Amino acid sequence: MDQISKLIQRQMKQKLLIVGCMLVTLMGLAQTSETKVEDNLIYDGNELHKSKTYAQAEKKYRKALAHAPKNPIAQHNLGNTLFDESYYGEAFNAYKSATMSAKSKADKHSALHNMGNVFMNQKDYAKAVETYKEALRNNPKDDQTRYNYALAKELLENENENQDQDNKDSDEQSPKDDSKDNKDQDQDGENKDQQDQSDKEKDPQNQQQDPKAQPTKLSPQQIKNLLEAMNNEEKKVQDKVNAIKAKPVKPKSKKDW
């Protein structure tokens, strides 16, 4: 259990004792037998609550409410018992009923104070601040409520600051992502250029247009030498043909039959 929960639990017990003192006064003012039954059940519930016998205390308060459904003290102390049993939703409803049934500002303040404690336990600091503020309107001098109000307000401010910091970090992260995207786009463009160059080198038409791929140009002297060599070869061939023509042809032998 964290420090805030321990603080709330301690204050719940103190609030129960305050209600217990109020209960004694009401019992002294009781006039009817019906009211005496109700008060006795609440008293028994308080004793059971202080001994941490919460399930039995809850039964006593519920029996008291069966006799007087709008008794704010029974509603309030039932809320305390349900809170200590960790039934926070039911506890909140009991406190809310107590605020609507309250016959005095003191009763309403006490129920609102503990409604604020429920919100604190759930870490809903915004609602806790508003509920404690409402409780202080009914009793501005209560030190516990003033302290809880200040604590809830501080926790809410810290929560908002942390949220703002998270948003700021998120905003700062976005340009970095854009930069990364631009870098990726530049890399893609470079890869495309390399691919285009590779395709260009593979294209035969581009190779013909490439000066490096064209045959080396012959000098005039090289052309002259090449023609002379060709003429010499042609002359040798012509001489052989003329020699063959000048040689007498021997008649073929006649074949005997």
Judge whether 108 and 127 are in contact, CB under 8 Å.
no
Residue 65: its pLDDT value, please? 95
Judge whether 112 and 99 are in contact, CB under 8 Å.
yes
Residue 166: its pLDDT value, please? 78
What does 111-157 look like in DSSP terms, one character per residue? HHHHHHHHHHHTT-HHHHHHHHHHHHHH-TT-HHHHHHHHHHHHHHH
pTM: 0.57
Q: Find the helix or strand (DSSP H, E) in which 224 lies.
A: helix 220-246
CA distance 188 to 250: 85
Residue 251: its pLDDT value, please? 39
- Residue among 133, 121, 130 nearest 85 (CA): 121
Residue 130: its pLDDT value, please? 97
* 8-state DSSP, 249: P
Predicted confidence pLDDT, tens digits, the chain (257 residues):
566 666 665 555 445 433 433 322 222 334 455 568 889 999 999 999 999 999 999 999 999 999 999 999 999 999 999 999 999 999 999 999 999 999 899 999 999 999 999 999 999 999 999 999 999 999 999 999 999 999 999 999 999 998 878 788 777 776 555 555 555 565 666 666 566 555 555 554 554 444 444 445 567 777 677 777 766 766 776 676 566 555 544 433 333 32
Residue 135: its pLDDT value, please? 94
Residue 254: its pLDDT value, please? 34
- Report residue 97 as tokens: 């009923």
The angle formed by the CA atoms of residues 7, 10 and 14, to the nearest 5 degrees, is 135
Residue 207: its pLDDT value, please? 46
Burial classification of residue 63, based on how many CB atoms lie within 10 Å of its CB (0-12 exposed, 13-18 middle, 19 or more buried): middle
Sign of CA dihedral 125, 130, 135, 140: positive
Residue 249: its pLDDT value, please? 41
| Structural domains of the chain ordered from first start | 3-158 (1.25.40.10)
